[in-house]
Structure 1
Amino acid sequence: MKYIKIKAFKLFFLIALTVGYSFSYAQTERPKLIIGIVVDQMRMEYLYRYDPYFSNKGFKRLIKDGFLYSNMHYNYVPTHTAPGHASIYTGTTPVNHGIMGNSWYNRERKKKMYCTEDDTVSPLGTPAQESEGKMSPKNLQSTTITDELKLSTNFRGKVFGVSMKDRGAILPAGHFADRAYWLSDNGNFISSTFYGKDFPAWVNTYNLEKKYMKYINEGWNLFRDKSLYKESLSDNNSYEMMSFTADQKAVFPYNLKEAYDKQGAKVLKSTPFTSDMIVDFAKELIVREDLGKDADTDFLALSFSATDVISHMTSPRSMETQDTYMRLDENIADLLSFLDAKIGKNNYLLFLTADHSGAENPLYLNDNGYEVASIDYKEVTKKLKDFSVQTFGKDFIETYSTQNIYLNEDAITSSGKNPNEIIEKLVSYVESFPWVKRVYTEAQILSANPTDEHASMIFRGYDKTQNGQLYVLLKPAYMEYMKEGTTHGASYTYDTHVPALFYGWKIHHGISHKKQVITEIAPTLSQKVQITFPNSTSAQVLNEILE
């Protein structure tokens, strides 16, 4: 009897050990490759508006077989490209990760700075100008999901970033990336010595092939028949400033050869063809760097910037914008097909979102009865300086940038005047502007009432060592920009609302209309592949992706 009990115990122990081992193995199961896609200035409604013109192999495939968050939002301002990419990948906002804009005036340094500038590194890959390659992620203060993947695999997992814009490649790839590549004005993919002194021979060979010349020679004409562009305004309208040469109007077709002869390959950065170039280069990179080929998960961060550049110049209602998204749909289809063949249909995890959305052109809205306008920030700066001199006898305005008013604190101190009185009068004056909703002081921002949505969003994008002492909140639909085209940066839904799609490895089909925030993507991915959270994230997750 005792012998039977001992055998039974041993059998139970072995079963428990086997189950425990299996459970442990399942806990560390990961995809071979993660693909992160950020589409610059993509509005959620584009997935609906352009749906009839998409194929079944691009965006529609992601929606049909993946999970869509249709009510995803940014939870801070400014809603710009660099902080957008940083927030997606760190799972936190500028108050923590430190990327306050694309470029911004730094109060502590008393000068303007660029998000990825780094004078300690040198360019690699033969850029048009040396300054294009003096870039790194050193200004990013938090770790990214890509950083944590490197750490979790003891640096065996490979991480790469690719984009037309340096910030779109560098910030997602993080501090520990194997390499980030971005597009020089001369058409070359370049990098910097931050990632190592040697530049891959295959990239040099790729650059020498100048594959982009086929786009130059063909020019930019409509991708589909003109009758299909019913979601857009007429080709020739007053809300666009698209122009490749001085005598060229913002209408199709665009003669890129003529522009190339005058400007060189830089002309490509104002066309949808940089998206083709990104996909083509990404496919080459996957093969050359053996991504997704071993037991350690790799990560490829891609950013498509043509959508942003073209909407900036032509607005969200242009035929150029619609054409760009119809072409991007084909790019997505091409990439998915390639991943199916090279990595395996169920071996990669892909997510797609945007770094911000985009506003309607104010002139277009005004022409249709909504009394709004574009504001010239230079005129605002002049008004502020003139008011200061007239009211206080001295110019106390250091600068005005991205709706931040920077005060010259040294000048105020030496004048002997009461700083609070100066701030109070400035606030009262700026709030008298017809396009201003409210002015928030530094004290109000740092003690933001959580019930004040705009104040909370300003706080999450604010750093007292870098931002101004006052923040100017514009009324809805007003923007500081030119009369043509559009921009972004506001705390209103037209700039915060973006799509978020998850597809592939262990992702089930579904859709959620519940409001979510962009900083939930990185911690969700961390939980999904069971690695450490980025170090500044609030760790709020998207539960549907983890089910």
Structure 2
Amino acid sequence: MLAGHGADLATWLANTLDGWVTSSALTSQAVAAVKTFSDTNPLDADYGKTWSRLLPDAKYQGPDDGLAEAPPSGWTPTFPHVLKSGTGKPDFEFRKQWQTSPYADAYLGRFAAALVESLQLGKHGGIDVLGVSFSSPDLVGHAFGPRSQEVQDMYAHLDRTIGTLLDRLDVLVGRDEYVVGLTSDHGVTPIPEQLEKAGEDAGRFNLAAMIDAVEERARAALGPGKHVAVMSGNDLYFETGVYEALRAKPGALDAVVEALASRPGVARVFRSEQLRDAVHAADPLLRAAALSYFPGRSGDLILAAKPGWMSAGSGTEHDSANPDDQRVPILFMGRGIKPGEYSQPATPADVAPTLAAVCGITMRQAEGHVLREALTFAP
């Protein structure tokens, strides 16, 4: 995703968390630089290490033991967090902890620097692009919530990790000989129980009750039987043919939509046909749902949650169009970038066109636009 369809290499941590996978769609052979680093830097080397707070206690806001935090197996909600397992040796439980800790980001930072050196990035005649996804803050956010001391500490560690990587780029590529773009694909909603305790309207969807309400309306229109296939997140999928049957019977689908829309925490309910051509809609919730809609994969009905509400059964989630989930930073640094803070509307989709402009490339088709105010030149 970070490199589009034309990358030379893409690698990521396997689902088993015990090694790195390289995309065969981009290269048919194992990449020596990836294998060399992974062989000489085993993940299990971090077994037994302890994640402690990096900063003095007074630097952290809020309690260490936050309400309804959901740490990975083997950990409590409070610091310190020891990377270990019930078996006494590196296994999947340990690796789940590892990827939910600053050690994973630090590893990735070293990996990125090693690839810059071994692949001689920045030394070729053209433009080299390296995309790095520091994903551990996402996992920590899901488990502990955005107001946790763990999230605060993750970013303190990540700041140090990125600083170390930039120091290596200064040596390997040259200071001011590269450009950095930094953003996120989403924010996150605070843990609902914490919001409720503070007196705010928040909670978790009762998915079973939602399905029951839909089934009741569907049975009234179509007769007995199972009509809902599954509800996954904010997407509701009907059994084959049911959605079409409800649409064909006057008032039937309206009744189902009403049943869902009346449930606690639901702001809107969209039908799939409403979303297919609504990516430019003026209605922000409709447009957000349309941008996430994929025909054949998305649900027949899509829910938009009220602020503070979510489908996740524990921890927290980021599946809404609300500001907590949508608002993210965008930072640029390096040659061609004008120092300053800019308040005009921008999205992560603007990162690629802006970096392309710095490289003297015009993207003929792009969802985003060039953030000209942040550049030292007129592209």
In the alignment, is the contact (CA less than 8 A) between 1:278 and 1:304 conserved in 2? yes
Matches within 5 A, 1:360-399: 360-394=190-224, 395-399=226-230
Partner of 2:21: 190
Q: For 2:281 and 2:260, how far apart are their aligned partners in 1?
A: 24
Alignment of 1:111-126 (within 5 A): none
CA distance in 2, matches of 1:391, 1:377: 21
More strand by share: 1
* Residue 174 of structure 2 is aligned to residue 344 of structure 1: yes
Per-residue CA distance 1:32-62 (angstroms, 9 max, x = gap): xxxxxxxxxxxxxxxxxxxxxxxxxxxxxxx
After superposition, the C-alpha distances for 1:228-267 in whole angstroms (9 at most, x for unaligned) are 22x2x2222332111332xx42222222134562634523
Q: Is the 8 A contact 2:307 2:322 kept in 1?
A: yes
Q: Which residue of 1 aligns with 2:189?
A: 359
2:54 match: 223
2:89 alignment partner in structure 1: 261
CA-to-aligned-CA distance 1:497-547 (integer Å, 9 cap, x gap)? 000001001111011112222322222222222224164x24532111343
Aligned equivalent of 1:238, options 51, 63, 67: 67
2:165 paired residue number: 335
* Inter-partner Cα distance in structure 2 for 1:382 and 1:280: 50
Q: Which runs of 5+ in 2 are unaligned?
A: none
| Secondary structure, aligned partner of 1:300 | coil
Q: Distance in 2 between matches of 1:222 and 1:345?
A: 31
Q: Does 2:374 correspond to 1:545? A: yes
Of 305, 311, 318, which residue of structure 2 is paired with 1:474?
305
Conservation of the 8 A alpha-carbon contact between 2:246 and 2:252: no
In the alignment, which residue of structure 2 is the partner of 1:16? none
Between structure 1 and structure 2, the one with the greater Rg is: 1
Tell me how far apart the structure 2 counterparts of residues 381 and 289 of structure 1 sit (CA, whole Å): 52
Deviations along 1:341-364, whole A, 9 cap, x unmatched?
A: 111111101100001011111110
Shift of 1:446: 4.1
- How far apart, CA to CA, are the structure 1 residues paired with 2:286 and 2:168? 45
**Deviation for aligned residue 1:179:** 1.0
Amino acid at match of 1:205: T
Report the Cα offset of residue 336 of structure 1.
1.1
Q: In structure 1, the residue corresponding to 2:71 is in which secondary structure?
A: coil
Question: Between Structure 1 and Structure 2, which shows a larger proportion of helix residues?
Answer: 1
2:228·2:238 contact (CA, 8 Å) conserved in 1?
yes
Q: Which runs of 5+ in 1 are unaligned?
A: 1-170
SS of equivalent residue, structure 1 residue 359? coil
Give yes or no for contact 2:113–2:168 (8 Å, CA) kept in 1. yes
Residues in 2 aligned to 1:420 and 1:173: alpha-carbon distance in whole angstroms:
47
SS at match of 2:166: helix
Deviates more, 1:489-498 or 1:537-546: 537-546
Going from structure 1 to structure 2, the CA distance change for 1:299 and 1:390 (only over 3 Å counts) comes to same
What fraction of aligned residue pairs are identical, expressed as a percent? 26
Give SS of 2:251's match: helix
Question: Paired residue for 1:252?
Answer: 79
Q: 1:482: Cα distance to partner?
A: 2.2
Q: 1:201 aligns with which of 24, 27, 32?
A: 32
For 1:438 and 1:481, the matched residues in 2 are separated by 18
The one of the two structures with greater contact order (alpha-carbon pairs below 8 A, sep at least 6) is: 1
Q: Following the alignment from structure 1 to structure 2, what is the Cα–Cα distance between the partners of residues 416 and 339?
A: 59
**Contact 1:234–1:318 under 8 Å retained in 2:** yes
Matches for 1:53-132 after TM superposition, within 5 Å: none
Alpha-carbon offset, residue 461 of structure 1? 2.3
Which string of whole-angstrom CA distances, capped at 9 and with x for unpartnered residues, describes residues 450-498 of structure 1?
Answer: 3322112222222334323322222221111124x21101111111100
**Higher mean displacement: 424-433 or 450-459:** 450-459
| In 1: Cα distance, 2:206 partner to 2:263 partner | 13
The 10-residue stretch of structure 1 (388-397 or 304-313) with the greater mean CA deviation from structure 2: 388-397
Does the Cα contact within 8 Å between 2:11 and 2:21 map onto a contact in 1? yes
2:107 partner amino acid: M
User: Corresponding residue for 1:92?
Assistant: none
Displacement of 1:417 in angstroms is 8.2
Q: Give the number of aligned pairs.
A: 370
Decide whether aligned partners of structure 1 residues 457 and 272 sit closer, same or farther in structure 2, where only a CA change above 3 A counts.
same
Q: CA deviation at 1:201?
A: 3.2
Matches within 5 A, 1:286-297: 286-297=116-127
Q: How far off its partner does 1:399 sit?
A: 2.9
CA distance in 2, matches of 1:446, 1:197: 36
Does the CA-based 8 Å contact 2:221-2:246 persist in structure 1? no
Specify whether residues 481 and 534 from structure 1 end up closer, same or farther in structure 2 by C-alpha distance, changes over 3 A only: farther
Q: Distance in 1 between matches of 2:255 and 2:295?
A: 21
**Deviation of 1:290 (Å):** 0.7
Residue 147 of structure 1 is matched in structure 2 by none
Assess if the C-alpha contact under 8 Å between 2:65 and 2:78 holds in 1.
yes
Q: Aligned runs of 1:276-315 on 2, under 5 Å? A: 276-315=106-145
Give the deviation of 1:411 after TM superposition: 4.3
Identify which of 386, 406, 425 aligns with 2:237. Answer: 406
Structure 2 counterpart of 1:275, which letter? Answer: D
- SS of residue matched to 1:515: coil
2:360 to 523, 527, 530: 530
The alpha-carbon distance between structure 1 residues 406 and 534, as it changes in their structure 2 partners (threshold 3 A), is: farther
Contact 1:377 1:481 in 2 (8 A): no
